[in-house]
Amino acid sequence: MPASDPTGVLLVDKPGGITSHDVVARARKALGTRKVGHAGTLDPMATGLLILGVGPATRLLTYIVGLDKTYLATIRLGADTTTDDAEGEILETADAAGLAAVEDTAVAAGIARLTGEIEQVPSTVSAIKVAGRRAYDLARAGEQVELKSRRVTVSRFEVLAARRSAAAIDLDVVVDCSSGTYIRALARDLGRDLRVGGHLTALRRTRIGAFDVQSACGIDGIDATRLQTPADVAARVLPALAVDAAQARDLRQGKRLPGLGATLPGPQTAAIDPDGALVGIVERRGDDVRSVMNMPEEQRS
């Protein structure tokens, strides 16, 4: 692609105190393009991995947003808040005697009940849409918000450290979970289970699928040299299939590849041309292969 038309995927380590949209705005300015999107919003309080798509590579975000994730978090037991995190108003607090009665074995049992496939009601202050409006907009307008539970998978919920005081029990935890899991809701539900209340005081996303925050740049380090190519990213998200030049041309023109359906290594596959460029995402249709998402052909000097 020409230098004036950047494309690729950017890993950014979002700092606290700004929105995901603020990071997108910084990337647009730094890269000189309006076409920037992100996969998986982080709250202003949260830090860590935010994946940006730039130019035509924004089409890959669809395949990234649903990947499983890892978070480091601090859960404070001893108080409920309106937002299930430290940014909300405190609704109710537990007394010192109630907190002292919460033994480590009870915490472990509560965490065990929130591990595996669980039904989770998302936090009221979330981006889920209710009748076309975001739940957090309804909540801020003072309207009653009732969200339906959803099945999520928490494959790891582990306490790394615990600190006790008369006013709170702070748990540093690591969580591996499916997309759509709310860590704030885990904090809330653990507190309710232990009958002392709970909310989140810190949250950091360290992984999305195969992408790790250690490979991310800070917001002041955003530039085109940090962009990962669409082919490299697609091959980390999906199985890959090498196609020859004629097959790549046919796919780009919307034609099917007859008789190759059985060669696909997965339901959706990244088709890579002989130059190492991403042709698009393909799937099987009967005995054939057809493209379900095409990338523009890269211009080469």
Which contiguous run of DSSP H or E holds residue 25? Answer: helix 20-31
Indicate the class that CATH gives domain 238-294.
mainly beta
Give the pLDDT of residue 2.
43
Give catalytic residue positions.
43
When the candidates are 1.10.8.10, 3.30.950.10, 3.30.2350.10, 3.40.50.300, the CATH number that belongs to 8-67+209-230 is 3.30.2350.10
Phi and psi dihedrals of 188, rounded to 5? -60, -50
Per-domain residue ranges for the chain?
A: 8-67+209-230, 69-208, 238-294
Q: How do residues 217-265 score in pLDDT, each as one tens digit?
A: 999 999 999 999 999 999 999 999 999 999 999 999 999 999 999 999 9
**3-state secondary structure string, the chain?**
CCCCCCCEEEEEEECCCCCHHHHHHHHHHHHCCCCEEEECCCCCCCEEEEEEEEHHHHHHHHHHCCCCEEEEEEEEECEEECCCECCCCEEEECCHHHHHCCCHHHHHHHHHHCCEEEEECCCCCCCCEECCEEHHHHHHCCCCCCCCCEEEEEEEEEEEEEEECCCCEEEEEEEEECCCCCHHHHHHHHHHHCCCCEEEEEEEEEEECCEEHHHCECHHHCCHHHCECHHHHHHHHCCEEECCHHHHHHHHCCCCECCCHHHCCCCEEEEECCCCCEEEEEEEECCEEEEEEECCCCCCC
pLDDT at 137 over 60: no
Domains 69-208 and 238-294 share a fold: no
Give the pLDDT of residue 153.
98
**Mean pLDDT of all residues in the chain?**
91
Beta bridge partners of 24: none
Q: What percent of the chain has pLDDT over 90?
A: 83
126 confidence band (pLDDT: 50, 70, 90): low
Give the pLDDT of residue 127.
56
Could you tell me the CATH superfamily of domain 69-208?
Pseudouridine synthase (3.30.2350.10)
CA dist 291 and 271 (Å) reads: 9
Q: How do residues 79-123 score in pLDDT, each as one tens digit?
A: 999 889 998 889 999 999 999 999 999 999 999 999 999 999 988
